[in-house]
Amino acid sequence: MSPVSDVGYIGLGNIGKPSATRLLRGPWQTHVYDVDETASLDLAKLGAVSSASPAELAARCQHIGICVRDETQVEALLYGEQGLFNNAAAGTLIAIHSTVTFAALNRWGNDASRADLQLVDAAITGGQQGAAAGTLCYMVGGSTENLDRARPIFATSAETIVHAGALGAGMLLKLCNNLITYAEFMAMSEACKLAEAGGLSIQALRQVGLSNGVINESMYRFMENRKAATVHAPDSRMESPFSAFGKLAEKDLDCALKSAQDLDVDLPSTRRLRQVVHDLFTNKA
C-alpha cells in the first residue's frame, strides 16, 4: 500500500476539531468537513482543505475518520448519493470514531467490503483535553493490516493505541469502559451523600479512596464540579452543561444495552443506571 497523501476528517466537535487539528502535523494533506462550515473554515486557516460535502472529501482521501454524534449521523454519511460508500475510491480506509453499536459496525463492515472499501472502528477516550494534548486512547477493531495503515494517523492524537480484536471489538471495549465510568460516578455520588449525612469530610473520603485506588481524580473532579455548579447556579443554569453530559451518557448506555442484547447478555444494573444517569449528572440522583 502506497503512503497516504490525503487524510479526511468528518465531524469537528469537541473531540473531532482538536483531533483534526493535530492531523495537520502529518506529512499528508488534511481535508475536513462539518455541517457547521465555521468549524471547517477554522481548520482551513491552519492549513486544512475545507470540503464542501462528504462526497468531495471522500473522492480525495485514502483515509477518512468519522467523529459525529451518533449512529444515525454516521449512517447518513456512509450511505446515499453523497455518501462515502458511493464516492470513496477503492481501498480507502474509513475509521469510525463515534460511539455506536456492535451490530451497526458489522453491517457497515459488510457493506464497505461490497464497495471495495476498508473499515475499522477506532473508539476514543480522553475527551477534548486529551485530543488537544495528543493523549487520547484509541480502541481499535479490525485487521492488523488496517491498523498498521491507520496507526501513523491515529498517533497524531493518541498516547495509547489498543488493538482490541476484529471489527467491532474496539467499540465494544469503549462501551465496557463507559459503563464502568458511569457506574463509578454513581457509586461516588451515593458514597458522598452517605459521608456527608454522617458528618464525614469528603476530603477524608478522597484521601482514603486515592490511597487504595478506589477513587481516581476524574471521579473526584466530577463531584466537585457538579457541587460547585449546584451551589453557584440555579437549576435552569445547572441543566445547561451537565444536562448535555447526561444526554451523552444516556446515548452511551443505550449503545451498551443494545450491544448486550445483540450478544444475548443481560445487564440488569446497567438498565437501572440508564434510568437515573441523567439525574446523576444534574445532581438530582
What tens digit of pLDDT does each residue of 23-48 get?
A: 999 999 999 999 999 999 999 999 99
In whole angstroms, give the CA distance from residue 179 to residue 199: 30
In the structure grid, which three cell numbers stand for residue 10, read together? 468528518
In the structure grid, which three cell numbers stand for residue 170, read together? 474496539
Mean of per-residue pLDDT scores for the chain: 93
The amino acid present at 74, given as its one-letter code, is V
CB atoms within 10 A of CB 284: 14
In whole angstroms, give the CA distance from residue 186 to residue 40: 37
Q: Which residues lie below 8 Å from residue 164, measured CB to CB, with a gap of 6+?
A: 139, 140, 141, 170, 172, 173
* Tens-digit pLDDT profile for residues 240-256: 577 888 899 999 999 99
Q: What's the alpha-carbon Rg for the chain, to the nearest Å?
A: 20
Residue pair 111/78 in contact by the 8 Å Cβ criterion: yes
Residue pair 50/32 in contact by the 8 Å Cβ criterion: yes
In whole angstroms, give the CA distance from residue 10 to residue 64: 7
Which residue ranges form the domains of the chain, and what is each CATH number?
6-166 (3.40.50.720), 173-281 (1.10.1040.10)
Q: In this predicted structure, what is the pLDDT of residue 233? A: 55
Q: Which residues lie below 8 Å from residue 13, measured CB to CB, with a gap of 6+?
A: 34, 39, 67, 68, 69
* Tens-digit pLDDT profile for residues 107-160: 999 999 999 999 999 999 999 999 999 999 999 999 999 999 999 999 999 999
Q: Where are the alpha helices (DSSP H) in the chain?
A: 16-23, 37-44, 54-60, 71-78, 84-87, 102-114, 127-133, 144-154, 169-197, 202-212, 217-232, 235-262, 268-281
Q: DSSP per residue over 74-129, as a string?
A: HHHHHSSTTSHHHHSPTT-EEEE-S---HHHHHHHHHHHHHTT-EEEEEEEESHHH
pLDDT at 211 over 60: yes
Residue pair 7/51 in contact by the 8 Å Cβ criterion: no
First CA to last CA distance, the chain: 53
* Tens-digit pLDDT profile for residues 128-138: 999 999 999 99
* Tens-digit pLDDT profile for residues 84-106: 999 999 999 999 999 999 899 99
The amino acid present at 17, given as its one-letter code, is K
* Tens-digit pLDDT profile for residues 191-203: 999 999 999 998 8
Closest CA to 283 of 201, 190, 205, 203: 190
Q: What are phi and psi for residue 94, nearest 5 degrees?
A: -110, 125
Range with the poorest average pLDDT among 58-67, 168-177, 240-249: 240-249
pLDDT at 229 over 80: no
The more confident residue out of 11 and 280 is 11
In the structure grid, which three cell numbers stand for residue 178, read together? 463507559
pLDDT at 69 over 60: yes
pTM value?
Answer: 0.90
Q: In this predicted structure, what is the pLDDT of residue 245? A: 85
For residue 80, what pLDDT band results from cuts at 50, 70 and 90?
very high
3-state secondary structure of 188: helix
Active site residues: 174
pLDDT at 73 over 60: yes
